[in-house]
Structure 1
Amino acid sequence: MQSDTLSPGAQLAGRYRIEDLVGETARSQTWRAVDRILNRSVSVQVVRSDDAPAPAFLTAARAATVVEDPRFLRVLDAAAEDGYAYVVREWARGVSLDTVLQQGPLPAPRAAELVREVAEAIAAAHRAGVQHGRIDPARIIVKHNGAVRVLGLATDKALHAGPASDAPTSRSAGEPLRPPTTLAAPGVPEATAVHPQPMASGGDRAGGLRTETTDFAPELADVTALGRLLYACLVARWPGGRDLGLPAAPTEHGRLLRPRQVRAGVDRSVDAVCDRILGSPPRHHAEPLRSAAEVARELQLLMLAGEAPPGLSDVDDTSHAGLPLAPDPAGPPPAVHQIPPPRSGPGASPPEPPPRSDRHTGARGLVWVGIALLVAIAAALAFVVGRVGSGALPLPGDDEQAATRPPRTVVQTAPLDISAVAAFDPQGVDGEHDEQAPLAVDGDPASVWTTVEYYDGSGLGTKDGVGLLVDLGGDEEVRRVGLTLVGGPTSVSVLAAADSAAPPTSVDDLATVAEATDIGQPGASEQVSLTLDKPATTRYVVVWLTKLPPVSPGVWVGSIGELVVAG
């Protein structure tokens, strides 16, 4: 698509002000734009309305709206106007996976976790009867907190389909896989499927990637793409044929080499999962993985079993830690290579012990150091006790003011059960990522609810605040609210509803029972405990953000990693 079709400052549909060109292909452009009505950034993908794929592009975008998994960027609008067919999606700030992999491969556990996240999202789409059709590293975004977002659900396939396949392939939810259909590439006879080379077995019986003479069902095409994605994450080479800015995966006698044959130290269990997706047949008579849900389950089981260690035990990964992943001089998001552990909490393999003689020497040294510390502590305690007993040192509270001070009361609290949680945005129109709200109470601070982006100095535009509404299921005595806030400085209040008959719809229905201002530092997580001056009996509690932290110049976003209500 010609780069001069739109330009910064142009208005699309009288609502979207075009700002920055962020991506371009032969058939489409993707822009960051500002929704002038809601005052927020959005992603706008545009195609000339007279281009052949335009109708299929819009049809695919509308079909994708039935998929509710938050890892897909939500479609907000899709229409043809002003000579363009356009799709508006929520905006995600992060770095594309192909940019990450151009700097080097990911450690095995990060690769497994990332592809698991993508596989779970694709499985949700398949359950809704929608296929992606173009999964590759360029369509995966890694956000600054490590979260994964998938771009182009159904629409990218529609844009790249041949004349005989303008519309995205779909099926009814729950419908079984259809028989294989033919997928032909330009210059390839129609009866010949387009697949990567067979995978070399490294001494085992000849195995290879699927090379049937016809293509498999659309869901299986997505599954194969997940295998390619895992392969690329492990070795930073692309086995899919198309040029993504990565070196082509190496072959031997026409067969694709396995990840462990390309890069030393790739974990065997992750390599085996890759082979079960791409191998035809897989080595050692392993059961092939034929659905996205199976891929997600196998990677999840691998992480639960601790078979993928927190780092590659036999490869020095320090070279990954400081790699620039994008032109931003500030460097990559810290979570790209080392996100917090997966939500399943994989076990960490213990480090390899030192040689036997070193262990003994180190142990004896530690014993002597411990004895010396104990002697020093005992001597200090004896000195202090003697001084206090002789009256040389005053005891705390010996002065008259301390003597008259009432004894402190320690209040014990316990977490209360949370019945439901939702975004609370009474002064907004389009919500504050309501689908992410449960992430704030899932017990995992690494999964985060975020506000939408704001673009003025107060960080909230004309709003007094935004937040989360917590339903305790019935009246409870609330004494404390604990929060994990991401970024800073953040200001927050705890509001309680006096009326438990119905959820509040305005802050006018709420009373402020605790607050804190300017918490946290940029880019860091901060735990804060807000204790109420006196207990409040209520069913509904609102955590109300009144000041959002900046995440980049001119952009403010509030984030809550975890929320606990105690009584």
Structure 2
Amino acid sequence: MPESLRAGDVLAGRYRLDELLSESGSGRFWRAQDLVLQRCVAVHLIARSDDRAESLMTAARITAPHHDRRLLRVLDADQGDEVCYIVNEWGQGTSLDIMLANNGPLDPRRAAWVAAEVADSLARAHDAGLTHGRLVPENVLVDLNGQVRIIGFGVEAALHGLPAGRRSADLIDTVAVLYAGLTGKWAGMSTSAVPAAPTVQGQVLRPRQVRAGIPRPLDALCDEVLNTSPGAVPGPRATHDLSDLHGVVDALRTFVGDSSGLAGAEAWRSLHSSQALGAPAPDAEATQVVPEIAASSEPSSSEPPPAAPVMQDTPTQAGMPVFDDDGVGWIPTRTQAPPPPPPFEAEQAKPLFAPTPPDGTPVRRPRPGSATPPAAGYWPWESTGTSTGTSDSFDSGVWPAQETADADDEVPGRHWFQLAMFIGLGVLILVAAAAAFHLGSGGGEDGPEPPASTPTTPAPTAFVDLRATDFDPQGGEPREENPELVPLVLDGDPETSWTTSTYKQNFGRPTGLKDGVGLVVDVGRPVDVREVEVATLGGPTSVSIFVTSKPPTGVEGLTPVGTAAGNGGLTVTLDEAVPGRYVTVWLTSIPPVLDEYRGEVAEVSVKG
């Protein structure tokens, strides 16, 4: 029985079970090592007595001959007295559900490329009369080379007890893979651990109603395929026939365009990713995170392996290339090393203390201008002249008195010093004259001060990636104001709009039942709000703007930061920036529509 097998057991004398990844009922999913080909494989085990055993073997038998580089193939299958097992190719990378859980929805072009690869693979399988039967984000893998791989082709449906030949399920689940990549929600027929897509009256919300910024061609494709009655086939479109997967492939590749660089980008992401994923376990809803482990080598004999040959370096004869008319020649390299440069001359050492001068010579040199001429040598006593003064003491550090220099002897620098004194005196005279002239002409009185420069404030810029919800705190349950239309105020299209419910009376007490309704715009982070623009339609409308750091539950106790009223575009400019994350656009008066009242907002922009 499968539950009696343990890690280290060898199945069918070939597959060593290394790690139990998942179990459900009598089913077991193992990462195993093929001892013959020394490679990692995925092994599905199920009891021979299980009702799914026969359909599992049939699915493996009919899908094994089909070859596609994107399918993780069936490598082996057999059934013994107690167990039935299927051996699949091992895939290593990141599955779509893990991508969505770690990083959120994909960018539209990347999501369309992944879905196009899946759709093209399954379209080829449909042409061969085969189906996957249970395509979910856990079964879509991007491997370490950036290629899209599909897990559990054919056998996954058999393991879950689903019938074969589910072509319509493959079509809807493939487009649901695109929907999941765009929104992070799952809208397919097969069950998945990815959160379910929101629905209204049984219809899946379009991707643009779940997440802003979805291109219209992808939004229309998802809506036409997914929002069909159960069991019905989607009707053809004007440009692409979406009744089968070939039309889906054409539509997606038209949107993606040249996809030559996308696989390389996926490989770069895989290289910098810290998770490696294997194939999903049977009856498990989430892909197992399984790093691939290198196989342990088994010795083939008791003799030691032969030693590897020792590589010896061979000197090269190539030198600098020479290009001439006869071709390319080579200047041979030097056969002998060039001689080293001559050593630097050693600097002559200087004594730390001056030697004792000979008798009869002065200890110090005379100053410039003295009667004694300067010494010619390094030391004071190495002079060529004769001192006119005499002293009875040497080595005392005191120079004897010298005779006064002649009047004609010039001190160096004296003329420059005198010239500098004359120039400084002239500058002082000019400054004094200018000050006197200034005081005499009345310039001392205080004149008008120049106007202070006013710092310029940059124009406010609009925040992006906003989210909005309807806000009706004073209404009855479920307190909604057309929530499915709210994303239209952030789509940048003034032709689309959100409308309030229709009321018999206008807002305001005591005649109205409510003070108003509105929208709460989430900027996504704390910001400084300086301006709010609201584009209204239908007639005169009054709005009040509130800025809060937490989602509001009502307007009682809140002070509006600004108000505006009129037709069309209403702008509320704040004198000072107000910090906060949530901006509430509160409609306090709405225009009449026939004998009733209804507000309409086309766009909302928050700037800071």
Instruction: Tell me, yes or no, whether TM beats 0.5.
Output: no
Alignment TM-score, normalising by the size of structure 1: 0.44
Alignment TM-score, normalising by the size of structure 2: 0.41
